[in-house]
Structure 1
């Protein structure tokens, strides 16, 4: 079925379609990895380095396949790890009619969760007589919490358990984290009953859908064979991010046993970091597997930066710097280290801003993407300086940049949209954020209209409100959001935003009393002021502007997790603390004394670094491979011994001492 479906002339067509020119996937010297990847349709894993254009490669391959796909009732399944990745794939597929066809029957392009929901969990739950109204962990837990007796809530709080104890891992509603409450206790039984009742009402946590998908496969194993017949070819993007739960289920569906689908996975094992503490990487079907092909050429950065960062890769890889793209302009800049102490930690961001202004011209400052990231972004005020982003920028709001958790308020939905819009005029993010917030608020108010739909949140709200008295209120609310690009003064929030939002939520929910939604719709609290003389940071959008009076550059602040997969013009990686200061622990790698994730033990044998160090390496490899032009680090001055800074300057680093006054 797949023999000769992609030919070399198709590769030239696809490269041109992706804007790379007809030779975009042609061999470069001895490196023909991209051409081989385009032509290969066997089961294989592609180990693709940062900036290798793996998503572009995948989309080009899909465009050729769609153009030549011979089957009408069998399709290609394309699974991504996040909605952002799915949207990127969908947007790039829109460049051709053939690509657009992949977004329709018989094909599937979406997240792993969406696939599991659509083809396994939702049909199975409906067969059990359960109407699924909403799949949202925050809302499901709020519903279940309300079903608990008051004395049970008191017991849970006294035991210092969170609402997460209401999440289950088995189809009998058992499992999960219940602390000291065993099955024989009344509290455990009350938790079990709230889990069951909330689920039967149609409200589920995201990961619980895997519970029901696995139960379907347990009871109806032929469902996996049906899916293999429907999807004989499967692609998985960002495969290194798949948890054990996800990998085991996908392996069970497509690979285990007879008549497996052909499966290709794209990823980078050196970038395997997880958004939640406690998530385990794949063990059942780890990435990469036995059949693997490397794609080592990065089009993001030049060789000098590649040489600086490749030592942090846990799995040694060739890293060929073939960037940055010509349209980005400006030559590669020397990596820069900012030194600070307790007294000067808040000077790091202003000095970084000044360095950017001195390095790049006005056009690049206006069009580029500039970020500062930290491995830890939830601040412990009593923690060692620097503990987290908040030590550098006291007004930083961790919830704004946290992609993995649902926003806890209307204001947080808007803040995230403003954060995502930085450097672009893409207003649809703001419109859909407002619509998503209103749908979430309606669920908190007791709405039962459901949110299981493929339409955008805005389209969903329009469909639900058209012809009602609340529709004009929704349009007025969106108009106000667009006018201020999501920035709303407190007086306007109280006078305009909240009344319109309450009108919409009452219509969507059918409830007169707003209940839990009232706090969700409250105006944002003012953020603490920064110290005198520092550049301004947006109240809730985590944008640091420099200089304060007439900004020439805006710097997005966030966690390393929040910028994974992104490309920046310049990235500042800030030291932070988890059992130790991250960058201080990585100093041997920065100085060239160590490379990779292995070391010699006392007997002269190579052994893996400890799990914490491996996680630290992966996390900061992700951070340090974001920029096209300028990599910066910020570290405490007192961690460097005599001569170590000389080693760095000898390796081409620029050192800026924030402990000393800035030069006029």
Structure 2
């Protein structure tokens, strides 16, 4: 049924459609991995290196399949790890009429969470009489915290437990991280009661939906057979990021037992990094496993950079540098390491900005994407400088880039959208962020409309608001947001925006009075204030560092390594940060070339894996150092290097820039 849906003559057409020219997927220098990947429709895992164009390949396959798909009640299921990945796939598919068809019945293109919600968790909860109002961890936890007795909240705070202790892991609302409060304690029982009450009211945390999905499959095994008949072909993007809960559930739905669906997974095991230390990868259904199809050719960077970063890969794999692309009209540049000490740590960003000005033409500076990223970006202590991004840029706001959690205020929604817009350069993120913030505020106010639709937040708000005043307020608010590019000053907020926001939230929620929780969510934006001596590295509220300060010629987007995963930059500065030890200092043997990969060979020839923490450092910084097309820079403490080591780095092609010395 499926084997002949993609033919050799289709490959050139698909490459042309993707803007690669007719030979875009053709064999290159004996490497036919992309050509063979296009033709395969069996169950397989694609191990794709950074910059290999796996999403482009996936969309090209889907475009061909869309033309040949003749089944009216069976579809293709495309699952992504994040909304950003889903939107990228959807945007590229929308370039053709056939591709648009894949976004509708009988097909599914969406995140793993949205698939689990739509086909398993939500139907099961509704069958139990629960009206699901909202699946949002922040909002659900706020509801539960408010339900707790005051003395219980005090006890949890005294035990250093946050609202996250209100997340449950069992269908009886038990489990979770409750610290020293065992099932026999009154505090634990109060926690369970708050969890149950808010869930019965229709408020759930994201990962709790997997609990109800599993309960459905336990109670109705025929659901698996139904889903396999509906989706005989399944694609999973960024499979290395799937958690154990996600992987185990998807394996159970599509692969376990008789008559499995055909499943193709795309990912890179060397880029498996997670948003928090509490998360871990799959153990039930490892990626890659079974039939593995390597894709070793990167179209992002050249062989010189490939040779330098390859050794950071935990699992040794070929890495062929076939880039960089010539879309900005310049050649790859010499790699650089910025050295600093306690007194010069805040000189790193200005020196990086000047280095960009000295390295690239005005045209490249205008068209390129320039970033500075750190492994740790949440604020910490003032010891072990640099502990986090805040030591380089004290005005840095980590909430802008925190993808794993919802923003905690209206202005944070806008700040995150500005941060993301800097990478793609369009306004739809601001429009939808404004709508999402309004929906979140209305849900905090008790709104019952829910956010389960596949429609965009903007479309949902427009449909919910009645004709007349509230819809006019919404149009006026969006005009203010776009006029100010999402950066609303405290003055504009007080004089123009806040009244509109409150009017819209009242209409969305059906609530006449907004309580303290909603008022706190709608707190006015505050302009960043630099302490004495910090003016040179003051960032805007969207974490954009501009240089020079008085007449900016380059914009550098600041963020965590996690926040830029999957992105491509013109130049990337990887900043050292601290978790038990300084990351880049610990990776010095790999930078010097004395170590490679995630294992060490003993004098007796036995391979010994690096420790868990070091493996995490390697994966994190492999992701970081494979972002740039033209220029990779590092920032490290000067005292991390011993005699002769800087000379070794220079011999290996690194330019040394000393921020401790006057510019």
Q: Pick the TM interval, shorter chain.
A: over 0.9
Q: Which segment is superposed worse, 327-336 or 267-276? A: 327-336
2:662 aligned residue: 661
Q: Which segment is superposed worse, 310-319 or 155-164? A: 155-164
What does 1:165-176 correspond to in 2, within 5 Å? Answer: 165-176=165-176
Cα pair distance change 1:108/1:424, threshold 3 Å: closer
Q: Does 1:621 find its partner at 2:654?
A: no
User: In the alignment, is the contact (CA less than 8 A) between 1:367 and 1:423 conserved in 2?
Assistant: no
Counterpart CA distance in 1 for 2:366 and 2:566 is: 22
Q: Which segment is superposed worse, 44-53 or 505-514? A: 505-514
Structure 1 residues 117-170: Cα deviation after superposition (integer angstroms, max 9, x where no partner): 000001101111111110000001111111112222222222221111111111
Unaligned runs of 5+ in 1: none
2:242 aligned residue: 242
2:133 aligned residue: 133
Q: Does 1:252 find its partner at 2:238?
A: no
1:583 aligned residue: 584
Aligned residues: 662
**TM-score, scaled relative to structure 2:** 0.98
User: In the alignment, is the contact (CA less than 8 A) between 1:130 and 1:202 conserved in 2?
Assistant: yes
What does 1:419-498 correspond to in 2, within 5 Å? Answer: 419-422=419-422, 424-498=424-498
Tell me the secondary structure at the aligned position of residue 2 of structure 1.
Answer: coil
Give the drift of 1:179: 1.1
Give the drift of 1:603: 4.5
Give the drift of 1:463: 1.0
2:158 aligned residue: 158
Give the drift of 1:99: 1.1
Counterpart CA distance in 2 for 1:149 and 1:342 is: 46
2:41 aligned residue: 41
2:21 aligned residue: 21
Give the drift of 1:471: 1.7
Counterpart CA distance in 2 for 1:425 and 1:121 is: 36
Unaligned runs of 5+ in 2: none
2:613 aligned residue: 612
User: In the alignment, is the contact (CA less than 8 A) between 1:368 and 1:423 conserved in 2?
Assistant: no
Give the drift of 1:525: 2.7
Give the drift of 1:537: 3.6
2:406 aligned residue: 406
Tell me the secondary structure at the aligned position of residue 470 of structure 1.
Answer: helix
User: In the alignment, is the contact (CA less than 8 A) between 2:328 and 2:367 conserved in 1?
Assistant: no
Counterpart CA distance in 1 for 2:219 and 2:280 is: 26
Tell me the secondary structure at the aligned position of residue 328 of structure 1.
Answer: coil
Give the drift of 1:602: 6.1
2:648 aligned residue: 647
1:541 aligned residue: 542
Q: Does 1:68 find its partner at 2:89?
A: no
Q: Does 1:526 find its partner at 2:537?
A: no
Counterpart CA distance in 2 for 1:511 and 1:57 is: 48
Structure 1 residues 519-544: Cα deviation after superposition (integer angstroms, max 9, x where no partner): 11011233231554754543311000
User: In the alignment, is the contact (CA less than 8 A) between 2:393 and 2:539 conserved in 1?
Assistant: no
2:4 aligned residue: 4
Cα pair distance change 1:424/1:292, threshold 3 Å: closer
Q: For the aligned residues, what is the CA RMSD? A: 1.1
Tell me the secondary structure at the aligned position of residue 72 of structure 1.
Answer: coil
User: In the alignment, is the contact (CA less than 8 A) between 1:535 and 1:545 conserved in 2?
Assistant: no
Give the drift of 1:381: 3.3
Structure 1 residues 230-275: Cα deviation after superposition (integer angstroms, max 9, x where no partner): 1011000000000001000000000011110010000000000001
Cα pair distance change 1:128/1:627, threshold 3 Å: same
Counterpart CA distance in 2 for 1:653 and 1:161 is: 46
4+ residue runs over 6 A deviation:
none
User: In the alignment, is the contact (CA less than 8 A) between 1:350 and 1:534 conserved in 2?
Assistant: no
User: In the alignment, is the contact (CA less than 8 A) between 2:346 and 2:537 conserved in 1?
Assistant: no
Q: Does 1:285 find its partner at 2:285?
A: yes
Give the drift of 1:469: 2.5
Structure 1 residues 157-213: Cα deviation after superposition (integer angstroms, max 9, x where no partner): 222211111111111111111111111111111111111110011110000000000
Give the drift of 1:466: 2.9
